[in-house]
Structure 1
Amino acid sequence: MATPVLPAPADAAFAAACLDAGQPVPGFIRCPAGERPERRFSVYRNNVVASLIGALEAKYPAVAAIVGDEFFRATARLFIAAHPPRGPVMARFGGPFADFLAGFPPAAGLPYLPDVARLEALVLEAFHAADALPLAHDHLPALASGAIALRRHPAAFLLRSQWPVLTLWRMNTGHVELAAVEDWSGQEILVARPGLEVSAVLLPPGAAAFLETLEVGPAAAAAAALDVPGADLSLILAALAQAGAFCAPEVQP
């Protein structure tokens, strides 16, 4: 079945029919020798939906592992019907999935699931983010003295969660062995890609507040960090620099 070049209204009808089995086959679809198009279009539709489910599962493997294959695929079908792709770049598909899960009644018993999805989305976003040289260990003395200006790395992203989502993500993506979660405290996580590989690390107290406020200025960032109980500014700067949260200075100190 050839894919026709369609005007905008017909194109929208074709896309809707591809994603919704309740939609009729568009009237402009034709098969050779007068054959009815319903069966062939049904196969085409199933392939489209299956490929989108696969793309969603590749983006959210920990969510899929937590809920199981059957639950994930059923959820993905509903999500695809409500949030079809808006462009040809599959890396951008599935952005609203975390918010969808937050309002999805069958997932209400897993309140941490949306934040696991948010972490997985940030991992992919960091992977595709712009390149920049990270702050090197040689810069740390100048950093501590305030001799260089701090700039957030374009591939550095924060996630604050009331759940241990980094622990759950690591367990369900094979980074660590699957086990019972002993500590259900919230976690503040930095996702970064200072080089070629994406990493997700647990931040010390005050580090997330520091990075969030950095655009206002270093003094404001330090004040915001030190408002957090247990914050140690030296530990914060070292942890963020080691994780790749900062860019190298434009002018070497």
Structure 2
Amino acid sequence: MREQEFLRAALTPDAPVPAGLVTPTGQPAERRFNVYRNNIVVSLKDALSAAFPAIQTLVGDAFFAAMAGKYIRAHPPKSPILPLYGADFPQFIARFEPAGNLPYLADVAHLEVSLRNSYHAADSRPVPPAELSDPLLFTRKVVLAPTVFWLASRYPVTQLHGFASGGEKPAGGGEDVLITRPEFDPLATAFPTGTIAVLEALRDGIALGEAAELAPKTLDLTKFLGTLLSGGAIIDIQEV
């Protein structure tokens, strides 16, 4: 029996017991397989709940369980590492019709995936503070740490994420979000829409000063650079 066929049967409530699974008496092991089927679905739902706590809070337990069940059956795990399950959950939410009246939900899920990716990213060592005082710094290109992620949203996703954890009610509009990992826990910092252009330029090897020229007029460049520095986001400085 192929692994994917077995997994598909395990995730489909009305699917028959896979051929070859029998009891010691030679009968189909329906009862035992149903126990296994229930356990695997519960485990996957628990993994999604742990990975997307803000989503679960925003929609409620019952809605989240129903949505997670649909996702699990459409997207069985491809890796045995359960903490990484659900990477494409945001895309699923964006297409999930019952969540259509919550258009910001997929972006909040994207933020949670990015925070998780940052948490699991490889460790790196930030540049020594002395190198950041180089008068030629803005003529150099900077290398960003593998823990750095970003996303753009039409909604105040960091506020929505904080609201789900007991914070204030969201206000305002779209955000570009920079994720850094100064120690062990990732941080999400909101910036004005358009800030991602700076990050993409830095990623592509553009000099810091030239990349900064792409910033929106509303960007506090001091705060932006301070977030990169305090987040240990710069791991090398190189000549262009």
* Common topology (TM > 0.5): yes
Provide the identity percentage.
37
Q: Which residue of 2 aligns with 1:130?
A: 122
Question: Aligned-pair distance for 1:99?
Answer: 0.6
Question: Aligned-pair distance for 1:221?
Answer: 1.2
Q: Which amino acid aligns with 1:180?
A: K
The unaligned stretches of length 5 or more in structure 2 are none
Instruction: Kindly report the root-mean-square deviation, in angstroms, between the aligned alpha carbons of the 2 structures.
Output: 2.3
Q: Which amino acid aligns with 1:231?
A: L
SS in 2 for 1:167: helix
Question: Aligned-pair distance for 1:209?
Answer: 2.0
SS in 2 for 1:30: coil
Distance 2:50 2:210 in 1: 39
Cα distance, 1:63–1:72 mapped onto 2, change above 3 Å? same
Query: Do structure 1's residue 58 and structure 2's residue 50 form an aligned pair?
Result: yes
Q: Which amino acid aligns with 1:128?
A: H
Q: 1:186 aligns with which of 159, 164, 174?
A: 174
Q: Higher mean Cα deviation, 93-102 or 141-150?
A: 141-150
| Contact persistence 2:47–2:82 (CA under 8 A) | yes
Pairwise mapping of residues 3-82 of structure 1 onto structure 2 (< 5 A)? 6=1, 8=2, 11-34=3-26, 36-82=28-74
Give a deviation string over 1:3-53, Cα, whole Å, max 9, x none.
xxx5x3xx3321111100121101200112455521221111011101000
Q: How many residues align?
A: 237
Q: Which amino acid aligns with 2:133?
A: P
Q: Higher mean Cα deviation, 200-209 or 88-97?
A: 200-209
Give a deviation string over 1:26-84, Cα, whole Å, max 9, x none.
12001124555212211110111010000011111100111111110110110011110
Q: Which residue of 1 aligns with 2:92?
A: 100
Distance 1:250 1:139 in 2: 11
Distance 1:85 1:101 in 2: 17
Q: Higher mean Cα deviation, 229-238 or 163-172?
A: 229-238
Q: 1:152 aligns with which of 144, 156, 165?
A: 144
What TM-score, normalized by structure 2, do the two folds share? 0.88
Question: Aligned-pair distance for 1:246?
Answer: 1.6
Question: Aligned-pair distance for 1:163?
Answer: 0.5
SS in 2 for 1:109: coil
SS in 2 for 1:150: strand
| Contact persistence 1:205–1:229 (CA under 8 A) | no
Q: Which amino acid aligns with 2:211?
A: A
Q: Which residue of 2 aligns with 1:217?
A: 206
| Contact persistence 1:19–1:45 (CA under 8 A) | yes
Question: Aligned-pair distance for 1:121?
Answer: 0.3
Cα distance, 1:179–1:196 mapped onto 2, change above 3 Å? closer
Name the structure where strand makes up a greater proportion of residues.
2
What TM-score, normalized by structure 1, do the two folds share? 0.84
Cα distance, 1:120–1:232 mapped onto 2, change above 3 Å? closer
The unaligned stretches of length 5 or more in structure 1 are 1-5
Q: Which residue of 2 aligns with 1:3?
A: none
Cα distance, 1:34–1:232 mapped onto 2, change above 3 Å? closer
Q: Which amino acid aligns with 2:31?
A: R
